[in-house]
Structure 1
Amino acid sequence: MKRIVVLVLIVCASACKSGRITKHISRQLETPFYDNQFTGFLVYNPKTNDTVFSYNANCYFTPASNTKIFTLYSALELLPNNIPAFKYKTDGDTVTIKGTGNPTFLHPFFNDSTALNLCKNYSHVKVICNNLEDEKFGPGWAWEDYDTYFSPERSSFPMYGNVATIGKTDSLQVIPEALAQNVTEVLTRKRRKYNQNIFYYNKKQQDTIEVPLVIDSTLIKQLWQAILPNKVSFQNTNNESFEQVAYGISSDSLYKHMMAVSDNFLAEQMLIMASSTLSDTLSSQRVRTHILKHQLNDLKQQPRWVDGSGLSRYNLFTPTSFVQVLTKLYGEIPRKRLFNLFPVGGKTGTLKRYYHGNDAPYIYAKSGTVGNNYSLSGYLITNSGDTLIFSFMNNHYRQSTIAVKHHMETVFEWLRDNY
């Protein structure tokens, strides 16, 4: 009898707590600030399997870079502990290498030289880099972003992050050096000529800039010739299967950097690279279809998922879908490793200036920002020690994104202190 009474009291206390939370957050979301925007919010406790709060959770939103959560999940499901740098086969003094979409080869941040080191051991190098079915740009990407750092082209065998890195101390410094002659100092807002590898560096510029490359056969030959003079030739793919795989850097180091700075190029290439585990012909669409059909066939609302980065406004996801995927990650990946992959509120990456904790971080999450839209999905640690999984999505507002973040922060802090 005593045990029943205790259970009843626990249930009543839980119901009262839930009701108090629902009442408080609902009151916040019903203020005039949210009148002229579309908002969705879902909070879930994986320990008790309880929905803590739900508001428009089954409605579709433009997710922006929250899409990268699905990309991270796909990579963790399909890629090994070290990334597949490229596939290859040897024949005497000749090595043939085929792209896997690996974005780290000679990348300014990772500077992976796995392919270069292997090729140096052979007299002849044949490169296959036309085995990608994807277009260089994703569907729905903004064409006017062609010269901006966040919109590099996709390719099967990227080099240097598919960008020209240009800076100045006493003189101009250009990576890759082979393109130094293509850079002109001039007063202009544009950083590259449209559809040509002719670059502009503003004379008043102080910072190092990254400008997307136009990936074509002429450029690829020029870059390979610069690093392996008179060794390299190119051939088209013939759908021949390559059994040998060379592995590069730690996969987690790639995931962590992609999530921390919300790198669109790395996200796109991660999906392409994941497709190399399914077929020698690369296709990010194949990966998205595979993941949704198999690992994520239980999603309550199937998303419209068109790219890896979230650059496209064609993407449509619900808060429920993000919480479901975050819950899968929480159950499958050790907590320390998982939280290390996400930006940390007040500490790292895109969350460094927001969601500060008192004595310790309390938010581990991925943000998503595109004009008039801001979302945040991830994990919240309460003062009571519970981990809550949430997705807070805001679309079509006209006020500043900073104001949206501050209003969200008020809700998160209240949850942290009162749950």
Structure 2
Amino acid sequence: MQHRVRSLTGTAIRHFLLPAIVATLYACSPVSPKALQKNFRQTEVALQEHVGFVLYDPLKKEKLADYNGNTYFTPASNTKIFTFFTSLKLLGDSIPALKYVVRGDSLIFWGTGDPSFLYPFVFTNGTAYTFLKGAPQQLYFAADNFPTAFYGPGWAWDDYNDYYAAERSPLPIYGNLATFTTAGSAVQVEPPFFRTSILPEALQKKPAIIRNLDQNQFIYHPGAQPSTRTFTIPFKTSSVLTAQLLGDTLKRLITVLEKPVSRLGTKTLKGIPTDSLYRVMMQDSDNFIAEQLLLACAGMISDTLKPEIAINYMKQHDLHDLVDDPVWKDGSGLSRYNLFTPGAIVQLWEKIYHTVPRERLFPLLAIGGSKGTIRSYYKGGTPYIYGKTGTLSNNHCLSGFLVAKSGRLLIFSFMHNNYTASTAIIRQHMQETLKKIYENY
């Protein structure tokens, strides 16, 4: 018993001192490749974690620093960088909103994966809504192009009630999310279609809305002290529900065609500019958009909305020369099965940089001290970090571009895995490192 108390106390002291340890490591440290490697080794010991880092000059084609650059890490939302590049290569300047064919008095339409239909977090021009609303034919929704599971491989099933784990579907509507606003015992929901699916229950002290795992029943717990709250919950998708939601919104009858339908003569209705989607995906790390974009990419090279089609195509074509073969399982990075190396991610950013002009690219990314998931970090005058974060429990990554004080453009990938310290401490370590590189390169 005495040994256990001593061990717990040591652990508590160690975690208490971690911020000071990190600050000490970087207080006076130089930024030469050898010094960086030494500091990364010390950090791995101090934080009991794994660190990967690559720094690269794309103009000189020179690797400036490499620590575990060919070691595989869980990338979390750095996976979206792969989805971003795939979309840039396959989608063009506008996302396909619908595929359709007119046969007699019938308009048959297929989803393309477009995430923007009535999704409140992106710009929408109402193209698909106006088209379907005004069509003189009877409307038939064909769902035979979507053989994909609603969750990706390696997703955590118990995230089903969290907004960031919306289900994948061929024709999403409202982002496959229901938004509940509570005030005491009263509950309002958008879309109103779900207002009869709310069941009150007073079993929890804290206010909550919890969906039944397998169906769209939403249990409302007002809590011990009811208050005005907003809850955003994924709903359970199906082709029938899609038709019902569309019909409720368009005020029209939508009939579902479950059997395969001939696609001879199919046309494509173009939707919103793809940059509108890329910006939200890359800055706010929107998982739903990422997953749907990968489906849309698959639809550009096949008749089937299956992410593996797009992944395999890219690995055989534009990504065939990556220094380390990516283990790539989904569009968003929710999967714990994804594995990438810092070296491959840096190489990917270089490909992106040669695909998209800098003046278009940088405004689409998270910007240190200004936009997206790093708006509260990497501050200090003119922004110098442009990139993409990635966070899962015990994992945090940041990869992208660093514009040094000298004006020199660098590409980096910084990956931390399997730590038990707080992510705030990991982020502090990363900020100290990147700031010194900014000042000295």
**Do these two structures clear the TM 0.5 threshold for a shared fold by scoring above it?**
yes
Find out whether 1:29 has 2:29 as its counterpart. Answer: no
Cα displacement (A) at 1:185:
4.7
Find out whether 1:371 has 2:393 as its counterpart. Answer: yes
SS of match in other structure, 1:276? helix
Match of 1:4 in 2: none
Q: Deviations over 1:118-169 (max 9, x none)?
A: 1222241111123112211100111111111111111111111011111246
Q: Deviations over 1:219-269 (max 9, x none)?
A: 223212312345321113335245311111110010101111111111000
Match of 1:195 in 2: 214
**Is the 8 Å Cα contact of residues 123 and 231 (structure 1) preserved in structure 2?**
no
Distance 1:79 1:262, change over 3 A: same
Distance 1:373 1:364, change over 3 A: same
Match of 1:152 in 2: 166
Matches within 5 A, 1:39-50: 39-50=51-62
Query: Which of 61, 69, 82 is matched with 1:57 structurally?
Result: 69
Match of 1:288 in 2: 311
**Is the 8 Å Cα contact of residues 112 and 249 (structure 1) preserved in structure 2?**
yes
Match of 2:355 in 1: 332
Cα displacement (A) at 1:283:
1.1
Distance 1:32 1:394, change over 3 A: closer
Query: Which of 82, 94, 106 is matched with 1:70 structurally?
Result: 82
Matches within 5 A, 1:308-347: 308-347=331-370
Match of 1:180 in 2: 195
Query: Which of 251, 268, 273 is matched with 2:296 structurally?
Result: 273
* In structure 1, C-alpha distance between the alignment counterparts of 2:398 and 2:390, rounded to whole Å: 6
SS of match in other structure, 2:164? coil
CA RMSD across the alignment: 1.8
**Is the 8 Å Cα contact of residues 141 and 243 (structure 2) preserved in structure 1?**
no
Cα displacement (A) at 1:180:
1.5
**Is the 8 Å Cα contact of residues 73 and 329 (structure 1) preserved in structure 2?**
yes
Match of 1:89 in 2: 101
**Is the 8 Å Cα contact of residues 31 and 436 (structure 2) preserved in structure 1?**
no
Match of 2:417 in 1: 395
User: Counterpart amino acid of 1:330?
Assistant: Y
Q: TM-score, length-normalised on structure 2?
A: 0.87
Cα displacement (A) at 1:99:
0.8
- Runs of 5+ unmatched residues, structure 2: 1-29
How many pairs does the alignment contain? 400
Distance 1:313 1:26, change over 3 A: same
- Runs of 5+ unmatched residues, structure 1: 1-18
**Is the 8 Å Cα contact of residues 343 and 366 (structure 1) preserved in structure 2?**
yes
Cα displacement (A) at 1:190:
5.2
Match of 1:212 in 2: 234
SS of match in other structure, 1:30? helix
SS of match in other structure, 1:31? helix
* In structure 2, C-alpha distance between the alignment counterparts of 1:104 and 1:184, rounded to whole Å: 29
* In structure 1, C-alpha distance between the alignment counterparts of 2:325 and 2:249, rounded to whole Å: 45
Match of 1:139 in 2: 153
Cα displacement (A) at 1:92:
4.3
Distance 1:364 1:206, change over 3 A: farther
Query: Which of 154, 170, 176 is matched with 1:162 structurally?
Result: 176
* In structure 2, C-alpha distance between the alignment counterparts of 1:217 and 1:51, rounded to whole Å: 50
Find out whether 1:120 has 2:133 as its counterpart. Answer: yes
SS of match in other structure, 1:147? coil
* In structure 1, C-alpha distance between the alignment counterparts of 2:431 and 2:262, rounded to whole Å: 51
**Is the 8 Å Cα contact of residues 114 and 293 (structure 2) preserved in structure 1?**
yes
**Is the 8 Å Cα contact of residues 44 and 50 (structure 2) preserved in structure 1?**
no
Distance 1:85 1:32, change over 3 A: closer
SS of match in other structure, 2:33? helix
